[in-house]
Structure 1
């Protein structure tokens, strides 16, 4: 059943963040009930072994949609093989001032400057523990960040706190250093800062692995607004520290593709169709720098099966969707999963 085409005009008639909140509240109330048939999609089985994990299919949900991990089962019912929730910060924080989310329908795009608004680590972990998703053999990624009020020189402390908090409940953990909406955060992508952060995280992961008796893969999420030299430095640092994978990419600060459109001047990260090619460029550069075996998750501008295939051809192993879900609804998940399954048969 695909009711989304009926619901979309109503949702698009609302303020974007109000529509977002309404949707998440509805998912939280209806997940694991008979009402999940309103958005449930057939599951496409297309297993893949990657980063020491068994991915049930090649389509995931990108972080940012469910920051508080309230709707893991509802989102999982849409056919995702893996779901990533967060970004969570150690302490609760309100994020940036509203309005902070804007639609650009002509470009099938969104701009957001939410700013890691979330209820904090304790509430996040409690929600994760209530979800049934992992018991179905699907994978859950937990995405961590720093609090806005934490000085950038103390950022590592926040990441270490968050890693320890989410570790027992994650199939993989994503280190988000690429949101454009937390001041100075992207500075952590620079050579020295990244080296220090990843070194500390990998050391803490070794302690947590011994403590919990399992090794949880660590992925790094990077921005599309990097030049080839910067991508090369990041690739070398990932390999140096034995990171398990990279997620490419977060939202873009570029506006060339949406110039002159309503809201194009708003600050924040641009996602959707305009993010597709910048993301694909970074994926191609990463694949060239990292070799054929290193896991890459491709995200940015997937609104059709063709968009997903382009990510795989650029060098991604699996893909994630966010803005496409808002424009196309849950049927997109099945469409993409089917296309990628056919491609790999």
Structure 2
């Protein structure tokens, strides 16, 4: 019997989504501090057969947590303990910022989706750096990705310097950097996906990052031609990968009442409705980039079957987020167990498929 669906229905479903997130996350963060981390880790560990070699790192599992859940890098170890092979923290900005006014997170329960317009609320890249450094000292930690974005107070024409500031603060303590130019919740940010703006930005971040792998995270709303242009740029600059995809501004095909969607207003949609476009973008990327380029698939991922579908479609790694809100703290464990049951084996384990 699964307990979490009952807890969600009786408790979290009735709470403001952002409040529920903070409550659930506080429990995850508390476990290592209370000395329970090792016990939780043993219960939820992915198993050696799922290990994946990518980006110069060994990932305990191909399944990780997308940026947006741990915005301030405050729960890395706890999230690794519950089964995520990597945790992408952030989005972190050069300047601390409160984000957009509340309410700014909305559940679409029938659609298994979420609309958010958080606006990169975080304490800033400088404040997060010591927490990331501390997490790196824990032997059982997951691989740590760091997602960086543009500060709201920074004009688009000054975006390169803003990203470089965060890169210099974080690159040496990150296992990889993700350059976020695809959130719909920061004015002007998605415009940075235009190649004439993206090229100097990625060049500057690459140069400032040194040996740390750099990936770029793109939107599902890019046209196919736009996706191809990004692929060509990534290959030209010698970057390490692409994360596909961020949230969408589309509202097509939702079961939720149109009146409520209109009432919610602007924001990025994530979850099950993003599945098909995210898969399309993944497939397109794989036809346009070198075989050894890291492609992280994200969007509409819930089950082990969803993860396996993306791996078979060419993803190097897979991330989830929205389903975490609906599936609960044993979600990553369930996905990892499912991958093992489906016979999938990583490329870093003795038994390689």
With normalisation by structure 2, the TM-score equals: 0.90
Report whether the alignment pairs 1:106 with 2:110.
Answer: yes
Report whether the alignment pairs 1:139 with 2:140.
Answer: no
Task: Name 2:171's counterpart in structure 1.
Answer: 167
Alignment of 1:289-308 (within 5 A): 289-308=288-307
Task: Name 2:13's counterpart in structure 1.
Answer: 12
For structure 2, the residue ranges without an aligned partner over 5 or more in a row are 346-352
> By how many angstroms is 1:54 displaced?
1.8
Task: Name 1:310's counterpart in structure 2.
Answer: 309
Q: Distance in 2 between matches of 1:337 and 1:259?
A: 30
Alignment of 1:135-214 (within 5 A): 135-136=139-140, 138-205=142-209, 209=210
Distance change (3 Å), C-alpha of 1:48 and 1:38: closer
Q: CA-to-partner distance for each residue in 1:285-316, whole Å, 9 max, x for gaps?
A: 10011132211001111111222122223321
Alignment of 1:61-140 (within 5 A): 61-131=65-135, 135-136=139-140, 138-140=142-144
> By how many angstroms is 1:24 displaced?
2.2
Which 10-residue stretch deviates more, 332-341 or 51-60? 332-341
Report whether the alignment pairs 1:42 with 2:45.
Answer: yes
Match of 2:227 among 228, 231, 255: 231
Aligned 8 A contact 1:144 1:173 in 2: yes
Task: Name 2:237's counterpart in structure 1.
Answer: 241
Q: Distance in 1 between matches of 2:83 and 2:3?
A: 15
Match of 1:218 among 214, 220, 233: 214
Which 10-residue stretch deviates more, 124-133 or 11-20? 124-133
Task: Name 1:276's counterpart in structure 2.
Answer: 275
Aligned 8 A contact 1:48 1:57 in 2: yes
Q: Distance in 2 between matches of 1:312 and 1:267?
A: 32
Aligned 8 A contact 1:181 1:269 in 2: yes
Aligned 8 A contact 1:94 1:117 in 2: yes
Aligned 8 A contact 2:80 2:141 in 1: no
Moved over 4 A (4+): 34-40
Aligned 8 A contact 2:305 2:339 in 1: no
With normalisation by structure 1, the TM-score equals: 0.92
Aligned 8 A contact 2:55 2:176 in 1: no
RMSD: 2.0
Match of 2:249 among 223, 245, 253: 253
What SS does the aligned partner of 1:164 have?
A: helix
Aligned 8 A contact 1:134 1:140 in 2: no
Q: CA-to-partner distance for each residue in 1:152-195, whole Å, 9 max, x for gaps?
A: 11111111000011112111111111111001101111111111
